[in-house]
A = this chain, B = another copy of it.
């Protein structure tokens, strides 16, 4: 038996479960599953829009016209991702784009009337989605969870 084996046995003896790596205890894995569950709940309430698409509309509704790049920063999407999201919203007539008068690099994005109508209609559903996502927790637990989650995001 090698020295490494001996050491390993000592470690095992101390801990009892040192060798066992349990995926389901890792924060990344649980985070991924919780996110999956939320997306599924979202889809069950809002079937014709994805969470990123909803985020883009909601942010435009909140702050008004802005550049594609700035919008991406605000909703945590890189330039390549936000372009795809905006392209699809544009194809559906929910947003419209225009060139910035001064800075010719910028692409301005804004809600269309249809987009505004859509997001106003959907925001109440989004509140329901949030409630359902947090339903396994008590109100106090939910508050604690959101506070700690925000620290990690």
Give the A interface residue count (CB, 8 A): 47
Contact among B30, B126, B137, B152 for A26, CB-based, below 8 A: B126
In the complex, which residues of chain B have a beta carbon less than 8 angstroms from the beta carbon of A133? 27-28, 152
Q: Does A31 contact B (CB under 8 A)?
A: yes
Does the CB pair A145–B148 fall under 8 Å?
yes
Q: Separation in Å of the A47 CB from the closest CB of chain B? A: 15
Q: Evaluate whether A20 and B129 lie within 8 angstroms (CB atoms) in the complex, with A31-B31, A38-B31, A144-B144 already known.
A: no
Contact between A145 and B137, CB atoms less than 8 A apart: no
Tell yes or no: A75 within 8 A of B by CB: yes
Q: How far is the CB of A56 from chain B (nearest CB, A)?
A: 10
> How far, in whole Å, are A36 and B72 apart by their CA atoms in the complex?
14
A62 touches B29 (CB 8 A): no
Complex contacts, A39 vs chain B, CB 8 Å: 28
Most interface-central of A129, A141, A152 (chain B CB within 10 A)? A152
User: How distant is A131 from chain B, measured CB to nearest CB, in Å?
Assistant: 9
Residue in B closest to A122 when the chains form the complex, CB atoms:
B21
In whole angstroms, how far apart are the Cα atoms of A149 and B133 in the complex? Answer: 11
Which residues of chain B are near A55, meaning CB under 8 Å? 23, 29
Interface on A for B, CB 8 Å cutoff?
A: 20-23, 25-39, 42, 51, 55, 58-59, 61-62, 75-76, 123, 126-127, 129-130, 133-134, 136-137, 141, 144-146, 148-153
